[in-house]
Amino acid sequence: MASISSRDFVVSVVPAGEKSCRLEVTPQKNTDSGADVLPSLDEETGREKSEPELSGVPEKFLVELNGEPIAEFADLGQGFPSWGRGNPDDSGEWLNFDHLVGEGSRVYGLGEKTRYLEKSGAVYEMWNRDTGGFYTHNEDPLYSSIPFYLVKTAEGDSRAAPFLGVYVHQSEKTQFNVKARSDLSRIGVALNSSEVTVYLFAGASPKEVISNYTRLTGKPFFPPRWAIGYHHSEYGKPCNQEEAVELAKTFREKEIPCDALYFDIQHMEGHRDFTWDEGGFSDPEKLLDRLAELGFHAVNIVDPGIKAESGYEVYNSGLDVDAYVKNDKGEDFLGAVWPGFCVFPDFLRENVRDWWATQNEKILDQGVDGIWNDMNEPAIFFGRQQIEDLVRELDDKLAGGDHLNLKERQRLVNISEANTRSMVHRTDGGQEIGHAKFHNLYALYEAMATWKAFKRENPNKRPFILTRAGFSGIQKYAAKWTGDNSSTWEHMELSIYMSLNLGLSGVPFVGSDVGGFDGDVEPELLARWNQLGSVIPFFRNHSGLDTTSQEPWAFGERYEKIIRKYINLRYRLLPFLYTEFFRAHRTGVPIARPLFLEFPGDEESYSVSDQFMVGDSMLVAPVVERGAKRRTVYLPPDENGRETSWLDWWSNENLSNGYHRVEAPLDLMPIFVREGKGVPVADPTRHAGEYPNKLKIKANTGAGRDVDVKVPVYDDDGESDEFTKGNYFYGVLHIHAGRDKPELEVKHDGYEPFWDEVEVI
Ligand code: GLC
């Protein structure tokens, strides 16, 4: 370990794998920072570690790994930085430093962030937050915090590897100041802590960086096959079991594939978790059986707020194990959410996670297949203590003849920001932890508890958890959706950038509310958004209360036909997507990828933000503009910068690389297959539990160039952990131009794949 010290800090650099290292910044005066509440990381051990070299003065220091410079930092200091976009109420110590980057660098990642694909030109904050309504195009922060960014180094910057990943492994509120590209010579990092651990990942390619980052924070979970089908959800519907069965039957009658129906808070008795409203859902087991017969999986919403009501079994059982977060007076913290005043499980403690797993197990036992963790920032409409304290304080002031100043009046408006501030958590050892340190981790620990419920219910079954909030590592447990968006074209476009950046930040199983949550969707937007959804890893149509219905058939035959075509496309793509989910689980490399991930040598690919790759073979160019009938697409040259071809998915024509203006009438989303690649597809089925007997390969053998194509295919039983014991199939189909029979090279033969015939398209 090399270390240097400045007036105030000791900086140590420790190798953490072949191409990664850990930078530890600790204050010289030993301040007690409290217990470590962060989840453990999978640091590589047993590897021969080379001693890194650290040079320069502490105010500016260059980090070297294996003799190579990888990053330079400067201006390490204490205090809130001048650029800080802070809330004046943020108290405690702040530590800040600059990461020096060459001008012209490009910055991506940072998890769930709005704005554009490239992150330059804004300050981003890490603080899990529900906006209390739908969010705007520039809103920040949002529901989850992933303090990880990826830098594409500027040409000629000798201080850095070609690609660098930076992960700030600290749970407190953190800010990243990414200047406009024209002025991007440093990235400011500030955090509400007195110490910090930063991991640096040097890579020759962006994939290598993401792979190493997810090696540390955890590889994405491998979902059951049904979870990658189409999901249908609406706040307010179904509001009784007859309606639920009707909805499921309508999908089958209309021959629109669907795998999951969601039960939002309307299914509960007065919004109490783990209950069913007796009036509408008198026999949940029977309902869930009926849905299963129809080939549907049920996903139930679970909010962390437990109604504080004596006699409510869940509440009482939590009291028995002292499960709830305290306030600063040592009482159970009370905050209002959907059911009225609630208490909140303290997921930091193992025994509380055990108790929570037991609560979840009850609904899994009834036949619920997936759990949707919402409001887990945690979102609180208003806190009892905050309201009472504030009212008392302001009342005293007014009664004393004083006026309320602007800040005080704003506090009334911003009361929700302060809601969780007085929460106090406890570690397993009984040490008290202020909420600021645990806030961003709350949902991650909830997901761990929910995961435990699934594993207890059936140790061999793969869980499905959907979460709104999260932190680095959430990919090990849950799929992530981007919360309460709007039914607007801007939000549809925004969802592409948000999903791609979440993927670059280690969370591949992502998607937005297809059709938009807030506001009334227009039919054209619903059609276009379903097109986009059909190729995004998490494909769920979800809409808000009292908004226009967004069912595929909501706007008549014309739109229904288009939406059916794309939901069918999703099911056609299942063999491909399933293979890609398996690969993401193994490598951490996202499924939906910005072009530069596949073509890092192509400068143009860094600027294209409204197109993306699915896996390494398929390029999609969704239409995000009202009334558009055609659009411009950019088709990159091959990975060596040479001329190549792209196969048009629909017309089977081969296009050369470069810019093209292509037809995109309302029923067509442009899709292309890369030269030398193929996409395994199958005829659509009603749901992912049904399999046709033929596998088809859409391959691009390169018009006239006779390029050989290799197509990886994965298959297993679709639901169990048997694959971890080797019970899966993995093979590569070799397609030689001009020959219609592909050769199958079996790489792993632990399962009989679903097809008995392969056809090349
Ligand atoms: C939150 C969720 C939304 C859900 C609603 C009611 O707003 O983000 O998806 O429908 O709560 O539970």
- How, if at all, do strands 470-471 and 144-145 pair? parallel
Ligand 1, atom nearest to 513 Cα: 9
- Dihedral-angle region of residue 388 (phi above 0 means left; psi in -120 to 50 means alpha; beta otherwise): alpha
**Ranges of CATH 2.60.40.1760 domains, the chain:** 2-217
Determine the Cα–Cα distance for residues 483 and 235; give it in Å rounded to an integer.
13
Both structure tokens of 253:
């009658």
Ligand 1, atom nearest to 379 Cα: 1
- CA 109–ligand 1 middle distance (angstroms): 25
- H helical segments located in 630-670: none
* Owner of token pair 């790759």: 613
Q: Return the best residue to mutate from 130, 134, 231, 235 for the ligand 1 pocket (most ligand atoms within 8 A of CB).
A: 235
Chosen CATH of 2-217 out of 3.10.20.30, 3.40.630.10, 2.60.40.10, 2.60.40.1760: 2.60.40.1760
Which has the closest alpha carbon to 724: 687, 758, 751?
751
Determine the Cα–Cα distance for residues 310 and 579; give it in Å rounded to an integer.
49
For ligand 1, atom 4, name the residue with the nearest CA: 235
Q: Return the best residue to mutate from 268, 302, 517 for the ligand 1 pocket (most ligand atoms within 8 A of CB).
A: 517
- CA 470–ligand 1 middle distance (angstroms): 16
Residues of the chain short of pLDDT 70, as ranges, are 1-7, 30-34, 44-57, 86-89, 411-418, 740
Determine the Cα–Cα distance for residues 168 and 71; give it in Å rounded to an integer.
14
Both structure tokens of 562:
């288009």
For ligand 1, atom 7, name the residue with the nearest CA: 484
- CA 484–ligand 1 middle distance (angstroms): 7
Q: Is the dihedral of CA 106, 108, 113, 114 positive or negative?
A: positive
- How, if at all, do strands 60-65 and 54-57 pair? antiparallel
Q: Return the best residue to mutate from 484, 540, 550 for the ligand 1 pocket (most ligand atoms within 8 A of CB).
A: 484
Between CA 118 and CA 438, with CA 85 as vertex, the angle to 5 degrees is: 90
- H helical segments located in 294-338: 313-320
587 class by beta-carbon count within 10 Å (0-12 exposed, 13-18 middle, 19+ buried): middle
* Residues with active-site annotation: 374, 377, 484
* Exposure on the CB side of residue 158, measured as CA atoms within 13 A: 1
- CA 574–ligand 1 middle distance (angstroms): 28
Ligand 1, atom nearest to 233 Cα: 10
Cα dist from 140 to 112, 116, 125, 127, 505, whole Å: 9, 13, 7, 9, 17
Pocket of ligand 1 (CB under 6 A): 235, 264-265, 301, 374, 468, 483-484, 542
**Ranges of CATH 3.20.20.80 domains, the chain:** 227-379+429-556
What count of other Cβ atoms lies within 10 Å of the Cβ of residue 521?
Answer: 26
Determine the Cα–Cα distance for residues 434 and 34; give it in Å rounded to an integer.
10
Determine the Cα–Cα distance for residues 282 and 270; give it in Å rounded to an integer.
14
- CA 739–ligand 1 middle distance (angstroms): 52
Determine the Cα–Cα distance for residues 300 and 272; give it in Å rounded to an integer.
12
* Owner of token pair 């739908």: 134
Ligand 1, atom nearest to 303 Cα: 12
**Starting at the edge strand that comes first in sequence, how are the strands of the sheet with 743-749 ordered?**
709-715, 729-735, 743-749
What count of other Cβ atoms lies within 10 Å of the Cβ of residue 351?
Answer: 12
DSSP string of 333-390, one letter each residue: P-EEETTEEEE-B-TTSHHHHHHHHHHHHHHHHHT--EEEE-STTT--SEEHHHHHHH
* Residue 74 pLDDT: 93
Write down the pTM of the prediction. 0.96
- CA 235–ligand 1 middle distance (angstroms): 7
Q: What are phi and psi of 586, to 5 degrees?
A: -80, -35
Angle at which helices 574-587 and 206-217 pack, to 10 degrees? 70
**CA 758 centroid distance within chain:** 34
Rg over alpha carbons for the chain, rounded to the nearest Å, is: 26
For ligand 1, atom 10, name the residue with the nearest CA: 235
pLDDT tens per residue across span 572-587: 999 999 999 999 999 9
Architecture category of domain 227-379+429-556 in CATH: Alpha-Beta Barrel (3.20)
Determine the Cα–Cα distance for residues 497 and 111; give it in Å rounded to an integer.
10
Determine the Cα–Cα distance for residues 227 and 213; give it in Å rounded to an integer.
25
* Owner of token pair 């088809």: 696
pLDDT tens per residue across span 406-447: 777 776 666 655 678 889 999 999 999 999 999 999 999 999
732 contacts 711 by C-beta, under 8 angstroms:
yes
DSSP string of 19-42, one letter each residue: TEEEEEEEESS--------SPP--
Both structure tokens of 473:
């590592």
